[in-house]
Amino acid sequence: MTYDFRIAAADTPTMYRDLQSALEGLVAGETDAVANMANAAALIWETLPDVNWVGFYRNIGGELVLGPFQGRPACIRIAFGSGVCGVAAETRQVQRVEDVNAFPGHIACDSASASEIVVPLIRDGELLGVLDIDSPKTARFSEEDEAGCVRLGAILSRIL
């Protein structure tokens, strides 16, 4: 079996639709959360242009702890309310940040990061963690990206 999920779509909504199908196929029948997060990070990393970090922070006892990712080594523990990920965890709201340097408390794991989107992953009222995607381009993430990432988050919340 090969895992060739290369996606080349003409427009952003189509790309996210293809990405959703690929993600659903990739995690189908697998219950191991680490394996699913690792493959999801790799798939998103391979598919989205202009990203320099894709990965997960898990809610471990009310603290965000680094999970599977692609990109440079990152900070390991983030308090709720701290930085973009911590605010997403505390508020349970998607954080789409056009300029991370203007975000109070932003945690710069990679100085190349210029914009970021963080999607809280919630199942049955429980915050499982967050999906974090960084870009070296300012204002990389559009409303279409946000809608697509929220749908990816919904798939992930079911299987983590």
Residues engaged in binding ligand SME (CB under 6 A): 53, 74-75, 78, 83-86, 106-107, 109, 113, 116, 132, 134
Instruction: Please answer whether residues 129 and 67 qualify as being in contact, where contact means their C-beta atoms are separated by less than 8 angstroms.
Output: yes
Which residue bears the tokens 């429980």? Answer: 126
Q: Which is nearer to ligand SME, 18 or 98 (CB)?
A: 98
How far apart are CB 140 and ligand SME at their closest, in Å? Answer: 13
Q: Which is nearer to ligand SME, 134 or 145 (CB)?
A: 134
Which residue bears the tokens 């493959």? Answer: 39
Q: Which is nearer to ligand SME, 14 or 91 (CB)?
A: 91
How far apart are CB 69 and ligand SME at their closest, in Å? Answer: 7
Q: Which is nearer to ligand SME, 18 or 136 (CB)?
A: 136
How far apart are CB 34 and ligand SME at their closest, in Å? Answer: 18
How far apart are CB 11 and ligand SME at their closest, in Å? Answer: 27
Taking residue 153's Cβ as centre, other Cβ atoms within 10 Å add up to 20
How far apart are CB 10 and ligand SME at their closest, in Å? Answer: 29
Provide the strand spans (E) within the chain.
53-60, 63-71, 77-79, 95-97, 115-123, 126-135
Q: Which is nearer to ligand SME, 74 or 154 (CB)?
A: 74
Query: How far are the Cα atoms of 14, 85, 86, 141, 144 from residue 93, in angstroms, in the given order?
Result: 24, 10, 11, 16, 16
Instruction: Please answer whether residues 55 and 45 qualify as being in contact, where contact means their C-beta atoms are separated by less than 8 angstroms.
Output: no
For ligand SME, the nearest residue by Cβ is: 83
